A and B are shown apart, each in its own frame.
Chain A
Amino acid sequence: MSELILLDRRWIARDAERSSTARFMLWLFPWVVLFVFGIYAAGLCFYYGLNQTNMDNRFAFGMWIYLDLAMIAMGAGAFFTGFLVYILKQTELKPILNSAVVLGLICYSGAVAVLMVDVGQPLRAWFTFWHPNTHSMLTEVTFCISCYLLVLILEYIPVLLRNRQLRKVPSFLVFELQLHKLVPVLAAVGTFLSFFHQGSLGGLYGVLRGRPFAFREGFAIWPSTFFLFILSAIAVGPSFLMLVTAAAETVTGRQLIQNAVFRKLGFISGVLLGLYVGAKAIDTLIWLNFTSPAVGFAPWDFYAYKPFGSALLFVEIVPLGLLPAVVLTLPMMAKKRSWLLFGATLACGGVLLNRFLLTVQTLALPTLAFDDFLQYIPSWQEVATFGGVIAYGVILYSLSYRYLPLFGQSKGEDSNVSMG
């Protein structure tokens, strides 16, 4: 045990103050259990097939696709913060950049892992690169997410190499230095890729001509959902970053980021959310009055089936859209961290609801005149697999926080916080 403690302490930065090894192990234990259980559930799906899930021929997409969309939207904080810092030179956000990269890596790698369980033939995933259908939004998603995951790994490596022990290896130092020069380029590439795949994820539903609840007209080859997904993701990414940082502050009992950084993130999130809500409202009106009736579907038909009433549309746009936009941008409210976190929670809730409705309501609603309205409740294997991904995220974030300079406290950076 003492050797373990010694090893643990040796990897923690010299000037950083961290909890005891035993306390850290205790914190990790339930997450490791959940992670192992998730691996077991995913193993069942690999071994026996997707009959272990409650998806079916009508509910071809389920909890996993919804959560993939949600995670990727939340992970948008990574590319967007990189874009703000390196491209728009908003350097005051630099202290939160490393944390954003780790969060992005967790969200994207977790989403890819779940997708691998979700497809019927994961060993054929490379077919998309070999036989790509350039008309498919899913091809665009696959290419961009794969490339962006690579970018995130490259962005994570310099953070990783700042570990106390890894810095002792001279070649790693040289590699880190070289990689560091590339970071602005990686941020630009990441921004480009992310804009496209966030949009393509929206396009995934918007192009479904056969599903009038999701189908949207748009510009050129892109339906309006393409642009709405980009806007909502960059609006909610900073909010999610705030929430995770606040959660980390609660768990560690330390202030990790100055209030000014929070206010800046909140303001950016609020302004973009306001734009998104406006665009979403216009899009909804066009869809209700023109797009849907043109293909023989009365709009009220979509909202005739409970629990998917029109109240949910209102909740998505007003209490979870307009309200947080106001809370996050009004200076008198943004002064208080509690209001900022309240606004960020509502903003994240709104985007989560949007992704949920687009995935689940689209498939639940009948299309044929003699169709049934369907219900779907995920199986324990689906829930446990996703629980495993959440646990993986918590474990990776915890390890990164413990052993790496997540909040810009290393020498040479403008440190805002005392990690010790």
Chain B
Amino acid sequence: MSARYGIVIDLDRCTGCGACMIACAAENNVPPAREQATSRTGLTPMLVHKISNGLKGAAEREAFIPVTCMQCGKETPCVSVCPQQAVEVDETTGIVMQMPQRCLGCRYCMAACPYHARYFNWWDPSWPAGMEKSLNPGVSVRMRGVVEKCNLCHARLHSAKEKAAAAGKKEINSADCIPACAEACPTGAILFGNLADENDPVSRAAQSPDAFRLLARLGTEPKVYYKSGQAWVRAMGERNSSPAPEVAHV
């Protein structure tokens, strides 16, 4: 049976500490940012945005929204545009896969992504002397001139498949391939699991009345859900005519 892996992020629990961003970078061999890099040229497959309700004084409220690849399940914007099939949806997991080895670096997928969750390698990857020893041997380092994004820690999925095969099982246990961000979150705000399994906690969380998705009306069926008990935070799901709230990147 095909799985549909996704995550649910409880925004009321998110403190904006950025542990998910650090864990993601360490797990996926994201090189340290160059001195010249800016918030718009860095590699942040997981990026935490700070938002505000736009009010002042005692009425002001703030929250944090970690944004990553939404693993769109329908009309996936980046898949159909790639001229050389460097992006595809894995039908067995629902994960949108990026193949940097085949990427031309045309960045059409980046223009197509409404979530700005795709990143271009503007520089050659490099690490300070000695730090290369800490690289994850299960993840390829991406070269300059190609696009990358979150693949829900694909190396962990491989390990889970190997573990399942060794145990003689065909199905993997989603608990064996929890992405680094979910694992690192100190408040347990990020929940990973199989959305196709109605007994999976992530599936139940996604059905919560407090759950929402970003730009759901585009019809791309994101597999990343958010949860919040605050109406103004849930209103962040869709863009409307109201002024954009103040935002800062952690």
Contacts and interface: CB of A to CB of B under 8 A. Distances in A.
Q: Do A and B come from one complex?
A: yes
A56 B241 contact: no
B84 interface: yes
A210 B124 contact: no
A368 B215 contact: yes
B40 A56 contact: yes
Q: State the majority secondary structure of interface residues on B.
A: loop
B170 to A, nearest CB: 30
A93 B201 CA distance: 72
B11 to A, nearest CB: 12
Contacts of A204: 108
A367 B70 CA distance: 14
B81 interface: yes
A121 interface: yes
B127 interface: no
Contact of A127 (B80, B102, B215): B102
Given A136-B83, A296-B238, A296-B240, A60 B107 contact: yes
A57 B114 contact: no
A60 B110 contact: yes
A128 B220 CA distance: 25
B85 to A, nearest CB: 5
B81 A207 contact: yes
A137 interface: yes
B161 interface: no
Interface centre among A120, A128, A371 (most CB of B within 10 A): A120
A49 B37 CA distance: 13
Interface stretch (A159-167, A297-305, A329-337, A342-350): A297-305
Interface centre among A138, A209, A373 (most CB of B within 10 A): A209
B146 interface: yes
B23 interface: no
B241 A138 contact: no
Contacts of B80: 133, 135-136, 207
Interface in B81-105: 81-86, 102-105
Contacts of B30: none
Contacts of A211: 111-112, 114
A151 to B, nearest CB: 21
A369 B244 contact: yes
B237 A59 contact: no
Contacts of A371: 116, 239, 244, 247
Contacts of B105: 50, 119-121, 124
Interface size class of A (residues with CB under 8 A): 35 or more
Interface string A196-208: 0000000010011
A125 B145 CA distance: 13
Nearest to B78: A210
Interface string B226-250: 0000000001111111001101000
Contacts of B217: 294-296
Interface in A259-284: none
A363 B110 CA distance: 10
Interface in B136-166: 143-147
Contacts of B106: 118-120, 138
Nearest to A129: B84
A131 B124 CA distance: 25
A197 to B, nearest CB: 13
B218 A295 contact: yes
Contacts of A119: 104-106, 145
A308 interface: no
A359 B129 CA distance: 41
Interface residues of B, number: 61
Contacts of A416: none
Q: State the majority secondary structure of interface residues on A.
A: loop
Contact of B83 (A139, A295, A362, A373): A139
A370 interface: yes
B66 to A, nearest CB: 12
A57 B108 CA distance: 11
Interface string A363-380: 100111111111000000
Given A57-B118, A57-B120, A366-B244, A210 B113 contact: yes
Given A128-B104, A131-B102, A210 B112 contact: yes
B38 interface: yes
Given A119-B105, A368-B215, A132 B146 contact: no
Contacts of B241: 298, 300-301
B238 A369 contact: yes
A135 B147 CA distance: 19
Nearest to A205: B111
Nearest to A300: B241
Given A209-B219, A369-B235, A60 B245 contact: no
B196 interface: no
A208 B244 CA distance: 22
B155 to A, nearest CB: 23
Contacts of B124: 49
Interface in A174-229: 204, 207-212
B240 A131 contact: no
A139 B120 CA distance: 20
Interface string A284-297: 00000000001111
Interface of B: 34, 36, 38, 40-42, 49, 51, 65, 67, 75, 77, 80-86, 102-108, 110-116, 118-124, 143-147, 214-215, 217-220, 235-241, 244-245, 247
Given A120-B146, A210-B218, A296-B238, 15 more contacts: A50-B145, A51-B34, A51-B122, A51-B123, A55-B107, A57-B41, A60-B107, A118-B106, A120-B106, A121-B143, A121-B145, A133-B83, A138-B108, A207-B80, A208-B77
29 contacts: A49-B123, A49-B145, A57-B118, A57-B120, A118-B106, A120-B104, A121-B103, A121-B146, A124-B84, A128-B84, A128-B104, A130-B84, A131-B84, A133-B84, A136-B82, A137-B81, A138-B83, A139-B83, A142-B83, A208-B111, A209-B218, A210-B215, A211-B112, A295-B219, A369-B245, A370-B49, A370-B51, A371-B116, A371-B247
**The 5 A-B residue pairs with the shortest CB-CB distance in the complex, in nearest-first order:** A120-B105, A120-B145, A210-B114, A296-B217, A56-B40
